[in-house]
Amino acid sequence: MKNKFVILAVLLLYGIGLAGESNEPSQIKSLIEKLNQTAANLKNLSAEIEYTHAQPLFDTNTVRTGKLFYVKDANSSALRINFLTLKQDQSKQQSYKEDYIFDGMKLTKIDYQSKSAITEQLAKDKPIEPFELVQDYFPIIGLAKPDEMTEQFDITVNGNTLCLIPKENTKFSKTYKQVRVTVNAENYLPCVFSALTSDNEEIVIRLSQVNTEKAVKKTVFEVKIPADFTQTQKQE
């Protein structure tokens, strides 16, 4: 029964859309331009992150919490998602440590439960903006080249929420049916990313306690992999 209610909620939220949605070009352009300006000027970012993954087929709901860090200067940029807790369905929240570190050239994923680490080469010659790389792993969309979103998505807007429908045969068309990006009206940074996957799973990422003023130290991204961890290297 719980599974049916989850599926119904997903269909209501994504299938028929939300009242007040508009495809007025000027509204869409205005919000994307503000988002683009904020993203371009972003040098430091730290935030609390909550990642919820609902899988109706398996009747499970998993919530992870942790921290997100980002830094950019003239020479480099880096992004780290550091999960610290996990809660599944009705079980108690437990300690659960997992790292995703994007440095522009590679992704390093460290799973402290299985004592394993995977380094995946993502670029060869020129670094790629980490917020562009992270989109292949999490629906954190809108902080990398927001002005190019219209190439990848059909877009409508509801207040400060962008509704993104992947265009056919584009980068995201096989992964998502829809992604909603809610932009904070005070700082014009995305604060909620809500995605419906091609498998009808729902992913919601919430950022809170966002700080763009405090400098993020580069040592935050220099995570040492313990010697007893199994390490795997993947090439592009």
pLDDT tens digits, the chain, 236 residues: what are they? 444 444 444 444 444 344 556 778 888 989 999 998 999 899 999 999 999 999 988 899 999 999 999 999 988 999 999 999 999 998 999 999 999 999 999 999 999 999 999 999 999 889 999 999 999 999 999 998 888 899 999 999 999 999 999 999 999 999 999 999 999 999 999 999 999 999 999 999 999 999 999 999 999 999 999 999 999 999 76
DSSP bridge partners of 184: none
| Cα 223 from Cα 201, distance rounded (Å) | 31
Q: Which CATH architecture has domain 21-231?
A: Clam (2.50)
What's the pTM value of the predicted model, to 2 decimals? 0.89
Hey, where are the domains in the chain? 21-231
